[in-house]
Structure 1
Amino acid sequence: MTDHRVLLLPGWQDSGPDHWQSCWQRQHGWQRVMQDDWFWPRRGDWMARLEEVLLDADRPAVLVAHSLGCHLVAAWAAHSSHTARVLGALLVAPPDTESPDTPPQLANWRPMVRKRLPFAALVLHSSDDPFGNTHCAERLAADWGAAQRCLGARGHLNAESGLGDWPEGVAEVRRLAAAGA
């Protein structure tokens, strides 16, 4: 038993079976935070669910977010009084929800929360992400007070990016856990 938990926060439409988050759930037993509605996500509902899961155990957590899950972390952290329960956050491929071509299902995720995070965070992004450009990812990382790194042309850093079980990502989760302990 470890002294912390890892919570997986998928984005819009959840993470499919070949997504690295699903691989990590199977391989490491890390907990996926399930949402009631993956297709018409309401920010407040997602925030309430994350709060519920964080308060459900006595151990602190590392948050591992993909896509819209990154915005969940930022929105939750801006409003919660329980941010001390988080050791750190890995924020992968944050989308630009303020882009004019954002699907209508994500309209209530505007404006993007840009408040500094009260815990260590790392934003990993791609130079050719169809849902958020490099400039947006770098700006979000700066606003959130997070370190950031571009992984090159890897798309949305999802199953189609060919990351598989993504051991480099697991190493970043372990670094965040060790630094926050």
Structure 2
Amino acid sequence: MSNRYITSHFPLISILLFSLAFAIYVQGFILNELVNLGIYSGMLEFISESGIKLTLLFLLLLFFFMVFSALKLLADTTIELSMLFFSKDEEGNELNKVRSGSWIYLAGSVLAVLLAQYLVVVVLLFIIASLSYFVFLVYKVSHTLNLPGLIGFIFFQVIFWSVFLLAVFFALLRLYNSFMASLPL
């Protein structure tokens, strides 16, 4: 019997590595924009180049860490709610089996850090890791669900994340439209 705590730190490492990958890309983007706007040279009078880069990287890492931590909290909650509504497993034994799927995110996050200069690749790696984990999750819990329970479990997950992503998209779209409308012509 293996120790179930061996992989308990993988989600934290995965969140840190995905956060680092996104932070590295966004840092490069922001620095390029600061140079193009002519602001970067003025900043160098007050802070060293390495100081600017490290501070920016730290703040971006913190921001993305908070975003991914919130997403993990939402994911854990929706999985446990789905299990509550549709599973016959009342003791939570299946959730312990699912936790071993954290390897999927760990592998994706390591690749993301290695390819951090390509935003599309990092986003695709996150999406592929998430979809792979979802397939792994459904496979692991499927034997504790009857057919209607399995369908309900899948639909609960799909509907929650679809509504969540649409709400975020429309909120960003509304914010963008109000920003563009406020600009003088």
Name the TM tier (shorter chain): under 0.3
More strand by share: 1
- TM-score, normalised by the number of residues in structure 2: 0.23
- TM-score, normalised by the number of residues in structure 1: 0.23
The structure whose RCO (Cα within 8 Å, separation 6+) is larger is 2
More helix by share: 2
